[in-house]
Structure 1
């Protein structure tokens, strides 16, 4: 696994696009600060900005890196979530503009997947997370489900040894968390 981890890390640091498995779906990722790579993902997915992407983090403390003001309740909600959870925060920072929504909000998920955690820690920052599908197509739960145009359009396909061919077939719960603690569900 170390060779795969190093190759994925090198690719991210070089501004490349990854196709990689997460704890939910197969995803396309890049360095969260690389605007050129973020633009390439929008093009590859046939998605027009400002359709935002999610930032995967490996540790809850990384929220400070990407959210201007973290609501107090966020720490407990995110840390103790049992299922994958994406939280949309009011104001993002330190990411390429193409990751943010038109209102400046940012979506962040604390990843549970061991490989993803190691990758994020090794890179030293969050990684873009967006399903590896062309806009309006089904989300891929296995590499075999990923459209050929996506596989050909990325720079590196992460294949972790001894990893199941299919992800857990879960989609994250998504909600918006306001500074006052108000929660609005986007997907349950």
Structure 2
């Protein structure tokens, strides 16, 4: 695993894209603080850049560094969730501007997968995580279902967990600073 993490970090530090297993589905990732790298993700997915991407952080401390004010309720949701849960926060900071939605929000998930946690911990920055498919096409349920265009469009493909059948996408919850909760995707 260490070798895979080191290869990923080298690609991420040079503004490249990785294809990697996450706690949900296989994801396309890049340095969430690098606007040019984020632009490459939108281009590869053929996705309108007004549709925001998800960002993974390694722990609560990194979450707090990239959100102006994390509502207390967020910690309860993270602790009590029975499946990977992405929360949309108000007023993100310290990430690429083109990663932030037009309403000044950002979808962030604290990674629960060990590979992701180690990768993010060693990289010391958040990583973009978006499903490994062209926009509008089905999310691949396994590595074998990832299209050639995606495989060829990234700079590095992680050589771990390729046999795993992925579960499903994360739940997405919109949590406003006034503690309003809206479920976007169960």
Shorter-chain TM range is over 0.9
Cα-to-partner distance string for 1:141-179 (whole Å, 9 max, x where unaligned): 22211110111110000112xx35124322211110011
Report what 2:20 is aligned to.
20
Report what 1:91 is aligned to.
91
CA RMSD after TM alignment: 1.2
Aligned residue among 144, 169, 172 for 1:171: 169
Segments of 5+ residues of structure 2 without an aligned counterpart are none
Superposition misfits of 4+ residues, deviation over 3 angstroms: none
Query: Is the CA contact 1:19–1:28 (under 8 Å) kept in the aligned structure 2?
Result: yes
Segments of 5+ residues of structure 1 without an aligned counterpart are none
Q: Structure 2 CA distance, aligned partners of 1:178 and 1:133?
A: 29
Aligned residue among 173, 179, 182 for 1:181: 179
Question: 166-175 or 51-60: which moved more?
Answer: 166-175
Q: Could you state the TM-score of these two structures normalised by the residue count of structure 1?
A: 0.95
Q: Structure 2 CA distance, aligned partners of 1:182 and 1:151?
A: 39
Report what 2:143 is aligned to.
143
Query: Is the CA contact 1:26–1:167 (under 8 Å) kept in the aligned structure 2?
Result: no
Query: Is the CA contact 2:73–2:179 (under 8 Å) kept in the aligned structure 1?
Result: yes
Report what 2:153 is aligned to.
153
